[in-house]
Chain A
Amino acid sequence: MEGRGLKRKAYYARRIRRAARLLFYRRHRKPGVKGWELRRSLGSDYPKILDILDDYLDKLGLQIKTVFEEEKPTEKPTLEQLDKARFYVTLKGGLESKEARLIGWRIDDIAGLAIAISYIIAKKGKAPRQEVEDLLRVKLPGWRADMNLQRYIRSGYLAEDEGGQLYLDWRTRAEVDHDKLVNLLLGGEELKQKILEEIDE
């Protein structure tokens, strides 16, 4: 009886290690792994294996993020929806100001990204490039506004269609908590004060 339990434990331990490797190392042009790839490599109970791995990662301040092909299902996702979804490992709980420096982005670049993303969210997910550029030009020189937008598009945060409309792309869907961002932006003076104190520190 005990032997069967140990075997089961070893089975899951092996699969959790394999899942971690699949998720951490990039295998395609874009990071992350599709659900069907995980199913093929880990077996049909891969959602359970990911749950256990997520618990491990939580202790390290990381999480497994699931990005569904369409909108996030309101109820428990079906196996078909999970198969089509993409799974990533992301940081959990956001960064502290000091940590942001470690990412290698200039503060101007992060602020510009914040502006572009939140403006597109406010415009129901689609905004003309010209409007976003104008908004960036309020605080950045023209050449930089254009260069930054190109960088956001190249990195997968934004996408542009032939009509010059900007959309949120796969990386924003994977990395940015939309609701939280808008709430933070619309938050009161108290929150702003707290952030200013953090900057001063």
Chain B
Amino acid sequence: MASEKRPSKRLGRERLQRIIDLCKSVEERGLDPFIVDVEDLIAVVREYFPQWELPEDLCLDAETIHQLSSVIKHQSDWVKHRSTSLYTDPFLLEEKIRRLSGGELASLFIRAWNPIVEMEQLSLRGLVEALSYWQSLLPLNERWAKTITLEREMGAATREELIKQRIMAEKAFSEELEALWTELRERTGKGGKIRYWDFIGADTYEETVERAYMTSFLVTYGYATLEIHRLEEEVFIKPFEKPESLVEKKDVVSVPFSIGEEDWRKWKEGV
């Protein structure tokens, strides 16, 4: 029994993506929606539909149908517009524009142009008010003199003082990041991973937030990656042996995490 050859899934995905791009370009660039042969494209969608099993493929299929329905709506609007007296053939109009000289065009336009009328004028009342404001306005040197604070003798601040006042961090940012990366590698072992909360969680809530903040940079700068198990609602963090550049990767996504005090308390209590 000869089995019927089924088209490949990869090709199917490519074809659906091309249909979506075509529909989008019609909408975005204001092209004639009738360049899209909806019937043919629906046949393509139908051909591949029985093969889709993964949620991603089914989403792609739904997106294609959605885009095609937008094109049908555009076609309907197009027909409605053409059937009204408001329709003007753009080619005819373009031809007219090309044939008329600049002077003729300008003369035609000003017959349909009613510019807005505005006035600009100083009133005596406005002048009087402005003068009275000017009289009550203090000279600059007097106004600025008031904002000067008490003078203090100049001196040098120590590194410790700057750290205490939170002007300077105790460690340089890169040093801190490297230290956290080392800690992550030590806690996971080679090729291992650790639960996100187990890694960022600390004795105090403030420290936990700080660790979460620094961990976000570990991931952004390619020192580690996140493993998200959506069904189990669990997130793991996995260090890389060497920092990886994420700039060229196209599928980079941002993952927001809520680090609320309640979440921290639950983690601490081991709930």
Residues of chain A whose beta carbon lies under 8 Å from any beta carbon of chain B: 24-26, 31-32, 62-63, 65, 88-97, 99-100, 103, 107-108, 110-111, 113-115, 117-119, 121-124, 126-128, 135, 138-139, 163, 165, 171, 174-182, 184-186, 192, 195-196, 198-199
From DSSP, what is the main secondary structure of chain A's interface residues? Answer: helix
A-B interface pairs (CB < 8 A), number: 145
Q: How far is the CA of A197 from the CA of B181 in the complex (A)?
A: 83
Q: Which of B29, B98, B112 contacts A184 (CB 8 A)?
A: B112
Residues from chain A with a CB closer than 8 A to the CB of B107 are: 97, 100, 195, 198-199
Inter-subunit contact B93/A91 (CB<8 Å) = no
| In contact, B116 and A31 (Cβ under 8 angstroms) | yes
Q: How many Å lie between the Cα of A95 and that of B108 in the bound state?
A: 10
CB <8 Å contact, A95 and B104 = no
Contact A111 B113 (CB under 8 A): no
Majority SS at the chain B contact face:
helix
Q: Which of A90, A108, A182 contacts B88 (CB 8 A)?
A: A182
Q: Are B90 and A175 in contact (CB under 8 A)?
A: no
Closest to B89 in A: A122
Is the CB–CB distance between B117 and A89 below 8 Å? yes
State whether B90 touches A95 (Cβ < 8 A): no
Quick check: is B28 within 8 A (CB to CB) of the other chain? yes
CA distance in complex: A92, B114 (Å): 6
Asked if B110 contacts A95 (CB within 8 A), the reply is: yes
Report whether A25 and B115 are in contact in the complex, using a CB–CB cutoff of 8 Å: no
Docked-complex contact A89 and B102, CB < 8 angstroms:
no
Give 17 CB contacts A-B under 8 Å.
Answer: A25-B118, A90-B117, A94-B110, A95-B115, A99-B110, A107-B106, A111-B106, A111-B109, A114-B108, A117-B109, A119-B93, A119-B94, A123-B30, A165-B30, A176-B114, A178-B112, A199-B104
Shortest Cβ distance from residue A90 to the other chain B in the assembled complex, whole angstroms: 4
B96 lies within 8 A of chain A by Cβ: yes
